[in-house]
Every structure is written in structure tokens, then in C-alpha cells.
Structure 1
Amino acid sequence: MDSTDFRSLKLCTELLSVVQELGYEKMTPIQQASIPLLLEGKDVLGQAKTGSGKTAAFSLPILNKVNLENQNIQALIICPTRELATQVVTEIRKWGRKFVGLKVLPLIGGQTGRDQAQSLENGVHIAVGTPGRILDHITRDRIDLNDVATVVFDEADKILEMGFEKEIRAIMKELPSKRQTALFSATFPESIQALSKSYQRNPVSVQIADPEGESSSIEQIVYDAHEDEKLNVLMRVLQQHPSKSTIIFCNMKATVNEVVAAIERNDVPCGGLHGDLDQRERDQVMAMFRNGSITLLVATDVAARGLDIDALEMVVNYDLPVQSETYVHRIGRTGRAGRSGISITLANPKDTLKLLELEKLTGGKLLRPSLGYKNQHGLTGMTLPNMQTLSISGGRKDKLRPGDILGALTGTAGLKAADVGKIEVLDKVTYVAIARKAVNQAMDRLRNGKIKGTKYPVRKH
């Protein structure tokens, strides 16, 4: 059997069944290299960037040995940001959907610690969290880590970059000495080597090179823009480079808010993502971006860390990042899985040396085409997204599933299945994309009808 085939792995029938149902056949390079080692119980030091399939690389081995009868935490996954932690939880639940009674809990800020404490008391098999919130539960004596058999550091370089060394040391003191430790990082600076030396035993190093020519599928464009004309230039860029999904990167929260406001003044739906948003606001913005209700997302790098977005067409660097490696990470979000992508950078004349450095780092030429006419009409001509989002005030904790929502919409509400887009069921809320032409009909019917015998409040966004 082909060594890249999931069936070649020693996985339980439940996991192999889910793999088949989801249509996965071949493992990515990081999965092929890491999963067998983790299944054998070895410590792994893996180098892989976002989008390489590393979440499945550590999730499948964890799920393969989870004991559902033991209600104590058996695996702890540490992430740098709440967005990445939330994404990891979603992935684990997806892979583990055949495990009846599996409990996966996010331990992150933006949610009440009391609710998390209650969930911990009721029993959790796998916990995924940020260092600060995990340590907070430890210091309040709310969490029992005595049965943890596997610890994973996801995006370990970012965990250290964000200054969590003290928290990590405190957390690791609470864990059993006999455990498996996996460490995944996009880069291998000295700090990562030190982290591995402190907490891993004879780790096997797995380094996956970037596929040849990957950056060549990304067209890199630079447009000159003095500081006082950047907003105007951005509007021209968005007009002349229409896209179904664009992330605009800014370095500061205030700039994110300024850019969002400028775009919305032109009656174009847009979302902002930065560190001041609470979890509910973040979830809503990301659901709307993933389901196509908004096609423009303005974000800081920290807020966008760990976002898993399929088929992103364009990235705009409204601000050049301070670190050149961040530029590589930004543009690498587009042009994945063999698709082409566009990266556009707004640069000052003083950025010339930085741009030369980026060319050398990416191995791709930065093109400088003419942007054409001056922007006099805002974003006139940009078409509104076909979809609009409804939020339903019920979710996973109310035992709602996507099929229940779809059934209510196509049954009670009388919509065609083609008018219903992506459905995301979170713990206490569900986001569903509806064709813009049918959204008022869906609103009226859901407000006056019931889902699984219960009436839920519904809002339009």
C-alpha cells in the first residue's frame, strides 16, 4: 500500500471511517512523517507552517489513544492565540466525530472562566488553550492535569515570540514527567531548541521543506503609496483587483478600525479583526468571512494567527510588517493547494531596501505595474456578496446540528437548498449563510417557526 495513504497507518476503525467520509486519501508530508512517530509514542520536533496539515498530524494520534471512559484530561494542546486554539478544537471535533461522548474544551480568553471551570468539573478528554488561560485555571485549582499523556505545542515559535516563557514553565511543572511531548514550529530559532531540550526526551526531528515553486504561484505586486494617500490607493486596488476573499493586513488596531470604516463608508460589507474584540465578535466576523457574507477582512497579524481559511484569493499588505518573515507568512495564506494567488503591497519610497530583502527572501520578483486612474468613486462597481449571515441563538450546547438548521430552513422556511450556504454551529450560537435574495424570507420563517421544537432568536448581520 502507498505509504502516503491514510489506510497504511495503525489507526482505529472510527478514525479511518471519518478519513474516508471526509474524502481524504493522501497524507501531507508533515502528516506522513509525524503520525507514525506519534503513534509509537515518540516525542516529535516538527517544522511545518500553517496550512501544512499539522493539526491532523497531532490530532489523529491523540484521538487514537483517548480513553473515553476516563473523564480526566489526557491531552493538552498549547496555542499562541485564541483563534488558533478555536481552530484546533474544531479540527479535533471533526476528526473525532465518531467517538461518542468525546469532550474537547477550548481554554481561552474572551469566554467566561466560570463556564470553562464548569466544563472541566463535568469531565474533559482533550483541552486546547492559550498559556495565560491554562495557567489561570491551574492557579485557581480548577484543572487536573495528572492524567495528561500527550502535550503539544502548536506554533511554538509564536508562543515564545509573544513572551509566554514564564507561563510555559509554570504549566509544565504541573504535568506528569512520564508523557509524550510534540512541538510544532514554523521556524527553529535557538529558543525552540532550548524549549525542546527542556521538555522533550530524545525527540525525533521532522523538517518539511516548502514545495518547490510554491511562492511562484503567488503573484507579488507593489504599488507606491505615500502615507497620506494610502486609503485612496487601497480603494483603487480593491476596485481593480476584484476578489471573492481578501485579507488586508495592518500593523496596528487603530489602523484596522480606520480601514474598516473607510470601506464601510462605501457601502461595502467588511470585517475587522484585532486584539480588542471579544470571542463572540471574533467568531461572528470569521463566520461571515468564511461563508462569503463579507469578502474583505482587515486584520492585525496577531489576530489573524492560526486562521484556517480555504481558497483565499488575495492578501493586501496595507502596512509592511516589521519582520520580513511575517511578510512570507502573510502571502503564504493565498495560493495554496496548487491555486494561484495575489499579494499586493502598498509601499513608501523609503521602503526600497526592505522590498529588495523581501524579493531575496521569497525568491519571487515584486512586480510594479501601473495602478491606472485616480480613485474618484470610492468602491463603486464592487458587487455585494451573494450571501448574508443569520445568527441563531442556539448551538452545540442546545444539541443543534447543521442538519437541523438546514431542515428547518428548507422545511419550515421553505427555502431551496441552493439558497443555504455554510452553516457553523458553535457552543451557544449558529451562523448560517443565506442567499441575499432569500434572507428576509428565511428571517421571517425562522422567527415564526421552531427548530427541533424550540423557538430561537434570529438576527441578520
Structure 2
Amino acid sequence: MTDTTFADLGLSDDILKAIDGLGYESPSPIQAQAIPHILQGKDIVGLSATGSGKTAAFTLPALQMIDLDQDVAQVLILSPTRELCMQVCEEVHRLGGKMKGLRAVPVYGGTPIDRQIMQLRKGAHIIVGTPGRLLDHLRRKTLKPSTIKLAILDEADRMLDMGFREDMEDLLGAMQDDHQTLFFSATMNKQVEKLIQRFGNEPQEVSIKGQTKTVSTVSQCYYEVRNRSKVEVLTRLLDLDTPRLAVIFCNTKRSVDECTEALTARGYTADKLHGDIGQQARERTTKRFREGKFDLLIATDVAARGLDIDDVEAVFNYDIPQDPEDYVHRIGRTGRAGREGRAVSFVFGRDIYRLQSIERYTKQHIKREKIPTQEQVEGVRADQLFELVQTRLEKEVNRSYRHYIDRLLDQGHTATDIAAGVFELLRESLGREGESIAEDSPDYKPGKQKKDRKDRRDRPERGERGERGERFNKRDRKGGKDQPRDPNMVTIFISLGKAASVRPADILGMFYGEGGIPDASVGRIQLFERHSLVDVNKDCADQLVDKLSNSKLRNQRFRIGLDRMG
């Protein structure tokens, strides 16, 4: 397939012109294999990792199938997050740039639905949306499934993991039997298989298996560093090898806030993205970062799948992710379009086991590096300062300062002393004040340091239990002590977790508010990436499961029941 061109795939002249104008030379493997099947009207199952070009693989044939003379929705694309939804819609406009009158509309939660209703009533050939918001439009009859000829599920596995199964089934079930369906997924699991069996029409499988799950142009390394030393180590790395644009990933919103505040206080141009930031502000921040208005973007994984910026030179895993797949998505933000990138991870204590899981998953070795010293950083700054002054001297020097130099010479200062003083002032104005950290000591050993119980900032956050998730103990609402797990407690399973931005407060509010259970009925809460476990009093467990069976958490449907593993 290496000699295949876009013209060989049966695409129209308008689409080929758009492709040529964007500078694409040849189709990726997933595009070369999937596009002909789609144009023949076949359902397909596309198994391909992030960064393989799958968005264009379904967008190009979708554009060709549209009748621009009909002002009705003909293509429906389901995406798991609003970031990815916007990214796909932007790709539709780019690839369809030569199609006059093409209209594509993104619809997702977090923005006024009235504006979306107006856009849909004006007529949209392609609708790109998240399942929950699309279902809202279906119920309001602003989405008419009878006109949809092609339905595309982008990252089907991710949407199922996020609890969108029923929404997806309702949307697909509302369409005409003769519509074409494309299932794109990074992995094939039982949930994806069931969805395909129910709604697929003898789909053709297109599978692209890479030897590694990470980009070959990305160099990967890690530093063993305590939580309290992360900011200092991060700034040393940034000063030693300043990236043009860099993304710093944290596991929690609080960590994002603290890291952003620390970096801006040290003089770096930085901004942040996480779930508590409003949608318009997030879009504005992403746009400013893409335009290079600031250098460092600190974000949670909510942005990992939505950022589509070719110029990101480095990714820092300020917190190592729980899920190896999230690691792949994170570092996929750099090393794009053939450019070189680097991925740096900070680990400490039990994080090393997560790192080993990532290495097994990616089938790549991640090299350990030694933390740079303050002296190394100062040396680099001195070299930069020297080059700065040398460059200025090679140009025409402003002679208006000559009388100041003459006055200093008249006072008995030598030319060497004057130059040294100027260098010192420049260093102070341009440099950042570093700090000494325990890792600088030649006697420092991570294993011993981990046992130092006095260092509270290096402990996991309250209740955290390593890779198993974040564990929280619910305090008695009347001010009592933490409730231990006892025989009167049973464990409830909820099919939403940290990937859906679920917080302990969300669960508690739902249990006490909608569930109507007595005070002090909830014990520990454990948040995992894709699910949550909650200890509740066994006397009210059945009542709770029954009342919440049709509820939504963070505006998402979920499964709830007694934990079978408990």
C-alpha cells in the first residue's frame, strides 16, 4: 500500500484539491484500507491507534457522500469529548474547504443548546457531537435521524468506557435500517463487539497494528523526584532545554492549579486547562496556546485527546497517569508531523510500578535520567548570557552609554570589573532564583526518603492507595471520626470514574440527595479511572441501587449495583 495515492482511492476532484492544498502526499495505512470500503457503502470496523490518521479516513469519504443541494443532516459523527468533537469538526472544514456551501456543526454539552438548535434548523450537512447532547437534540426533534445516511462512531471504546452505551444505542436505534455505520476504535473489547453485532451490517474489519504504541520521533525518559521537588526539577529542565511549546499533564485539577501558580510565580508564561474551567475559556486558552501566546499549558487528561497542535516540542508527565493508554495519548501530543519531540515523566515511590506497566504496554524502554544540578542550570544560563552579549557587540552598539563607562573608569574601576558587574546584573534580571532540594545531596536515596513520614507533601493525597485509585473516607456529617469498613457495610459499583471527572462530592450528593439514604450511611469512596467503589450501609444498599438505576452522574448514564468483586 506504500505506493497508493489519494487519487487511487476514488475521491472526487474537489476533495483531492483540498488534500493537495493541505500538503498531504500519500494516505496513511488506515486511510488507504478504509476509504475504498466506505465509498462502496460497506460498514466497517476500523481498529487504529491515535495519530494514525483515522479522522481523515472517515471524513474524506463522508464528504464525498454528501449532497450539497439537500439542506438536511446526512452524516452524524459521535465523539466522546467536546475537545475531540471540535477537533473533528475543524478537520471536516479543512478537508471540505473546496466544497462550496458545506455546513458542519459541532454540538456538545457545556454550551447553550438554543444556539445549537438555531444552527441545526438552518441546515447542516454534517453533525459532530457528543452522545449526551445529540440525544437531547433527538428528543427535541432538532436532530432528524431519518435523513442520516452515514453514522460514524469515533473512539467507540472510549465512549463506552465513559458510560455512553445507552445513549449510543438510542441514537443508532432511531436511524433508518439502510444507513451505513462506521465503528472506529483503538481497541476491541466485549462492549465494542456487542455494539457492532447489534448495529453493524456485516462490517468489514480494517485493522492497523503498529509494532509500538508510541511515536518513534518522541524520546522518552523519567526522573525520580519527590512531590515537593517537582516544580524545581521542572523549571531546571525548562531552563536547560527551553521548548517552544510544552504541555504539562497532571492527574488532578488541584495539581494543575498549584503547578500553574508556581510556574507563573517564577516568571514563566503559562495557562491551564481542566474540567472546572468554562467551555468558552477553555476554547480561548487552546486558541492562545496554538498561536504561541504562552509557552506552557498545564492540563488534566481532559485535554489530552482534544489538543491538535503540531508545534508542541515537549510533554511533561508532572503526575504519572494511572492508565498506560492515557500515557500514549499524552505523549502523542508531541513529535507530530515528523518533528522530534520529547516526553518527560516524574515518578516517585510506587509510581515506578505504573511506569513498568507503561513500558510493557508500549513495548518501549523509558530511560532514567539524573536530575540536573543548579550548577548545570547556571552554566547554561551563563552561556546564553554570553551569546546574548556577543551578539549585541557584533551589531552597532549604542554609544550614548559611553559617558557612563567613562565615569566608572574615572572612579578607578577597571574595564573587567565593569563588565563583570553588568554581567551580574543581566544574570539577576534574566535568571530565575532556584532552590536546593533533597535530590541534590549525594547521599540522597529515594527508598530511604520515602520512609520519612515527616515530609507530608510526599505522602499520597488523603486516602490514596497507589495504583488502585484514590480512596476517601466519608466523615460523619455530624462531625464524627472517619468511618472504618465494617461487616455492616457493602460495596456499591458505579461504572463512572476519574475519566468522567467524577469527584467524591458528586457521589455523596447523589447518594444522599437522590438516593435518600440516612446520614452517615456512606463509608470509603474509591475512584478509579473507569469506575468507582463506594461502601454503604447494607440496610440501605438495595434501596439506593433501585433509586439510582435511571439517574445520571456528571450528566452521564451509568451502571450501578453491588460489587461482585467485594
TM category (shorter chain) comes to 0.7 to 0.9
Checking the alignment, whether the CA contact within 8 Å between 2:289 and 2:295 is kept in structure 1 is yes
Q: Partners in 2 of 1:53 and 1:186 — Cα distance?
A: 12
Verify the 8 A CA contact 2:239 2:377 in the aligned structure 1: no
Question: How do 1:97-176 and structure 2 match up within 5 A?
Answer: 97-176=97-176
Q: Contact between 1:73 and 1:144, CA under 8 Å: does it hold in 2?
A: yes
Letter in 2 for 1:20: D
Match of 2:17 in 1: 17
Q: Could you list the per-position Cα deviations for residues 73-129 of structure 1 after superposition, in whole angstroms to 9, with x for gaps in the alignment? A: 100000001111111111111111222211100011232110110111111111000
- Correspondence 1:168-317 to 2 at 5 A: 168-210=168-210, 215-317=215-317
* Map of 1:410 onto structure 2: none
Q: Offset at 1:355?
A: 2.2
Distance 1:170 1:381, change over 3 A: farther
Counterpart-to-counterpart distance in 2, 1:366 and 1:321: 15
Task: Give the conservation status (yes or no) of the 8 Å contact 1:85–1:106.
Answer: yes
Amino acid at match of 2:157: D
Check the 8 A contact 1:215/1:364 in 2, yes or no.
Answer: no
Say if 1:2 and 1:8, in contact at 8 Å, map to a contact too.
no
Residues 220, 364 of structure 1: 8 Å contact kept: no
In the alignment, structure 2 segments of 5+ residues that lack a partner are 385-566
Q: Deviations over 1:150-194 (max 9, x none)?
A: 000111111111111121122122211211110111121222112
User: Which amino acid is the alignment partner of residue 70 of structure 2?
Assistant: N
Q: Which structure: larger Rg?
A: 2
TM-score by length of 1: 0.78
User: Contact 2:212–2:362 (CA<8 Å) still a contact in 1?
Assistant: no
* Residue 252 (structure 1) shift: 1.2
SS at match of 2:114: helix
Distance across 2 between alignment mates of 1:212 and 1:347? 22
Distance 1:190 1:95 in 2: 34
Alignment match, 1:60: 60
Moved more, 300-309 or 250-259: 300-309
Q: Secondary structure at the match of 2:269?
A: coil
8 A Cα contact 2:304 2:329, kept in partner: no
**Counterpart-to-counterpart distance in 2, 1:381 and 1:183:** 52
**How far apart are 1:50 and its partner, in Å?**
2.3
Whether contact under 8 Å (1:275, 1:303) holds in the other structure is: no
Q: What is the alpha-carbon distance in structure 2 between the residues aligned to residue 12 and residue 218 of structure 1?
A: 35
Q: How many Å separate the matches in 1 of 2:141 and 2:337?
A: 44
Deviation at 1:3, TM superposition (A): 5.1
For 1:358 and 1:184, the matched residues in 2 are separated by 23
Counterpart Cα distance in 2 of 1:172 and 1:216: 38
CA contact (8 A) 2:248 2:299 kept: yes
Q: Give me the whole-angstrom Cα distance separating, in 2, the residues matched to 1:375 and 1:114.
A: 58
**Alpha-carbon separation, structure 2, partners of 1:13 and 1:107:** 29
The letter for the 2-side match of 1:183 is: F
What does the per-residue CA deviation read over 1:359-415, in whole Å, with 9 as the maximum and x for residues that have no partner? 22223222222222249999x9699xxxxxxxxxxxxxxxxxxxxxxxxxxxxxxxx
Whole-angstrom distance in 2 between the partners of 1:116 and 1:245: 33
Tell me which residue corresponds to 1:361.
Answer: 361
Conservation of the 8 A alpha-carbon contact between 1:106 and 1:127: yes
RMSD, aligned α-carbons: 2.4
Unpaired segments ≥5 residues, structure 1: 384-461
Deviation (angstroms), 1:326: 1.6
Of 347-356 and 312-321, deviating more is 347-356
Shift of the alpha carbon at 1:353?
2.4
Q: Do 2:335 and 2:341's aligned partners in 1 also have CA atoms closer than 8 Å? A: yes
Aligned to 1:34: 34
Cα distance per residue 1:38-65 (max 9 Å; x no partner): 0001111111222221111111111111
Give the secondary-structure state (helix, strand or coil) at the position aligned to 1:146. helix
- Contact 1:93-1:104 within 8 A present in 2 as well: yes
d(CA) in 2 for partners of 1:365 and 1:158? 26
Whole-angstrom CA distance in 1 between matches of 2:381 and 2:292:
18
Question: What amino acid does structure 2 have at the position aligned with 1:160?
Answer: L
Contact kept in structure 2, 1:216 and 1:364, CA below 8 Å = no
The amino acid that maps onto 1:373 is T
- Change in Cα spacing, 1:185 to 1:266, as seen in structure 2 (3 Å) is same
Counterpart-to-counterpart distance in 2, 1:88 and 1:74 = 16
Runs (4 or more) in structure 1 with deviation over 4 Å come to 211-216, 374-378, 380-383
Secondary structure of the equivalent of 1:31?
helix
Distance 1:305 1:213 in 2: 15
Cα distance between partner residues in 1 of 2:32 and 2:51: 15
With normalisation by structure 2, the TM-score equals: 0.64
Task: State how far apart, in whole Å, the 2-side matches of 1:141 and 1:375 are.
Answer: 66
CA separation in 2, counterparts of 1:23 and 1:356? 39
Letter paired with 1:356:
Q
> What letter corresponds to residue 364 of structure 1 in structure 2?
Q
- Rounded to whole Å, the distance in 2 between the matches of 1:279 and 1:51 is 25
| C-alpha distance in structure 1 between counterparts of 2:381 and 2:43, whole Å | 54
The equivalent residue for 1:447 is: none
Contact 1:215 1:363 in 2 (8 A): no
- Matches of 1:304 and 1:212, distance apart in 2: 19
* 2-structure distance, mates of 1:291, 1:116: 27
Greater relative contact order (Cα < 8 A, sep 6+): 1
Shift in Å at residue 69 of structure 1? Answer: 1.6
- Change in 2 beyond 3 A, CA 1:357/1:366: same
Please give the per-residue CA displacement for 1:239-259, whole angstroms capped at 9, x wherever unaligned.
223111211111111211111
SS class of match (2:283): helix
* 1:171-222: CA deviation from partner (whole Å, max 9, x where unpaired): 1222112111101111212221122112111111111122669654322211
Q: Residue 233 of structure 1 contacts residue 375 of structure 1 at CA under 8 Å; is this kept in 2? A: no
Change (3 A) 1:50 1:356: closer
Q: Is the 8 A contact 2:44 2:181 kept in 1?
A: yes
- Aligned identity (percent) is 39
2:354 is paired with a residue whose SS is helix
Report SS of the residue matched to 1:349: coil
Q: Given residue 266 of structure 1, which amino acid in structure 2 is its aligned partner?
A: R
For residues 214 and 131 of structure 1, do their structure 2 counterparts lie closer, same or farther at Cα, with a shift above 3 Å needed?
closer
Q: For residue 251 of structure 1, give the secondary structure of its aligned residue in structure 2.
A: coil
Contact 1:315 1:334 in 2 (8 A): yes
Higher mean displacement: 348-357 or 74-83: 348-357
Structure 2 residue identity aligned to 1:106: P
Identify which range, 158-167 or 28-37, moves more after superposition.
158-167
- Show the counterpart of 2:502: none
- After superposition, what is the alpha-carbon deviation per residue over 1:394-444, rounded to whole angstroms, capped at 9, x for unaligned? xxxxxxxxxxxxxxxxxxxxxxxxxxxxxxxxxxxxxxxxxxxxxxxxxxx
User: 1:87 and 1:56 mapped to 2: Cα distance?
Assistant: 12
Cα distance change on mapping 1:273 and 1:77 into 2, 3 Å:
same
